[in-house]
């Protein structure tokens, strides 16, 4: 527990008692009460020490050097913005690069990425959200005003889905600027999906990729979870090696995928690991590994953001399953001449 000892403060209260704050800690402070007494009224003075519990002040995120440096989900993006090697470890070289950046912006040269430095870098972890007005195709509904935010505290998010791609600026990468970490293309189910905003322009490739835009990255993670459920052949489980084959489609070599999935899952996903698709924790690890592999550094979402997105995606899958069941029951009831309401009452919970 950290502590500090500011100069003692003395403040009189109604009866002349002095309140002296001796020292303040993270969650409590030590206080003495000094009452002079009133002899004419027969009141004796006293000195008393008490301890008062305090609600700790909310702490803003600060990204700084660790010893020894370990991977952190925001460090790789910070390093990429600063154009240094993105190993996702905040070490001496990153501290030096941050100091240079701070000097160029007239900021205190602490080597730490606090609110002022982070916002100068273009990061959003200190923002509660951002309102934007978007035209088509970035907004695909009659709604044009959108509120972009992270659904979890201190999380990174984008509010610039319409920004042009600039190779020297990693913040404009499709997966980041659209809040769509899996860069999932425009899908038939998009308008019914929570957080859907619109689409990007085509990337001009032979595949004519048009990426969906979401208001929060957690919704983008959820969309990947839903897309995975709809598109992976076996909807129950698969080994990591089988998942890699699905992703690479006979294209790039498998080894870089396998190596990165192992790395970004902290060694929990090797080629033989069987991933259960209804296990939120395993799907969280898979999502983080897949997106980090594509980014070539730890993807800049916190574990809480990933887990929130996976949970939302699973909830949408369950709704889809229930809707499909209702449709099948209604269709079968129609074919057999049974009241659909009666049929569903037999099979579905009320």
Domain containing 195 equals: 130-316
> Same domain, yes or no, for 94 and 144?
no
* Residue 213 zone, left/alpha/beta (φ > 0; ψ -120 to 50; rest): beta
> Same domain, yes or no, for 24 and 151?
no
197 assigned to some structural domain:
yes
20 assigned to some structural domain:
yes
> Same domain, yes or no, for 288 and 157?
yes
What are the structure tokens assigned to 143, written together?
């709604």
212 assigned to some structural domain:
yes
- 340 pLDDT band, cuts 50/70/90, is very low
Query: Distance between CA 196 and CA 223 in Å, rounded?
Result: 9
> Same domain, yes or no, for 92 and 142?
no
> Same domain, yes or no, for 209 and 266?
yes
CA neighbor of 319 nearest in space, from 221, 212, 222, 213: 222
Average pLDDT over residues 192-211: 90
- 237 pLDDT band, cuts 50/70/90, is very high
If one counts the domains in the chain, the total is 3
> Same domain, yes or no, for 184 and 42?
no
Burial class (CB in 10 A: 0-12, 13-18, 19+), 27: exposed
> Same domain, yes or no, for 171 and 49?
no
334 assigned to some structural domain:
no
> Same domain, yes or no, for 264 and 163?
yes
> Same domain, yes or no, for 216 and 261?
yes
* pLDDT score for 235: 79
- Name the residue with higher pLDDT: 81 or 30: 81
- Name the residue with higher pLDDT: 284 or 4: 284
pLDDT digits (tens, 9 = 90+) for 53-110: 655 556 899 999 988 778 999 999 999 999 999 999 999 999 999 999 999 999 999 9
Q: What is the number of helices (H) and of strands (E) in the chain?
A: 10, 11
Query: Distance between CA 18 and CA 34 in Å, rounded?
Result: 5
349 assigned to some structural domain:
no
3-state secondary structure of 128: coil
* pLDDT score for 300: 98
CA neighbor of 97 nearest in space, from 119, 115, 116, 75: 75
pLDDT digits (tens, 9 = 90+) for 131-140: 999 999 999 9
> Same domain, yes or no, for 28 and 113?
no
Asked if the peptide bond before residue 68 counts as cis, ω within 30 degrees of 0, the response is yes
């Amino acid at each position: 527990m950290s502590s500090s000892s500011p100069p003692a403060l003395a403040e009189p209260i109604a009866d002349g008692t002095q309140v002296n704050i001796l020292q303040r800690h993270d969650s409590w402070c030590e206080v003495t009460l000094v009452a002079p007494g009133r002899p004419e009224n027969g009141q004796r003075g006293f000195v008393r020490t008490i301890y008062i519990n305090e609600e700790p002040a909310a702490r803003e995120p600060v990204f700084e050097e660790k010893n020894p440096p370990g991977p952190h989900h925001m460090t790789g993006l910070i390093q990429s913005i600063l154009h240094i090697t993105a190993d996702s470890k905040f070490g001496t070289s990153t501290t030096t690069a941050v100091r240079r950046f701070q000097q160029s912006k007239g900021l205190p040269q602490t080597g730490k990425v606090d609110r002022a430095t982070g916002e100068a870098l273009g990061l959003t972890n200190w923002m509660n959200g951002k309102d934007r007005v978007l035209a088509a195709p970035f907004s695909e509904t009659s709604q044009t005003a959108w509120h972009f935010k992270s659904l979890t505290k201190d999380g990174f998010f984008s509010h610039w889905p319409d920004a042009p791609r600039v190779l020297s600026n990693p913040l404009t990468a499709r997966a980041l600027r659209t809040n769509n970490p899996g860069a999932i293309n425009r899908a038939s189910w998009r308008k019914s999906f929570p957080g859907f905003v619109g689409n990007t322009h085509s990337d001009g490739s032979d595949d004519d990729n048009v990426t969906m835009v979401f208001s929060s990255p957690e919704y983008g993670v959820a969309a990947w979870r839903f897309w995975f459920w709809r598109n992976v052949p076996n909807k129950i489980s698969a080994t990591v090696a089988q998942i890699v084959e699905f992703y690479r489609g006979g294209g790039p070599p498998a080894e870089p995928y396998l190596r990165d999935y192992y790395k970004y899952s902290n060694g929990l996903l090797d080629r033989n690991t069987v991933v259960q698709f209804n296990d939120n924790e395993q799907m969280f690890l898979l999502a983080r590994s897949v997106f980090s592999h594509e980014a070539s550094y730890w993807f800049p979402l916190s574990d809480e953001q990933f887990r929130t997105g996976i949970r939302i995606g699973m909830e949408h899958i369950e709704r889809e399953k229930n809707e499909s069941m209702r449709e099948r029951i209604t269709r079968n009831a129609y074919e057999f001449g049974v009241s659909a309401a009666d049929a569903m009452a037999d099979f579905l919970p009320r």
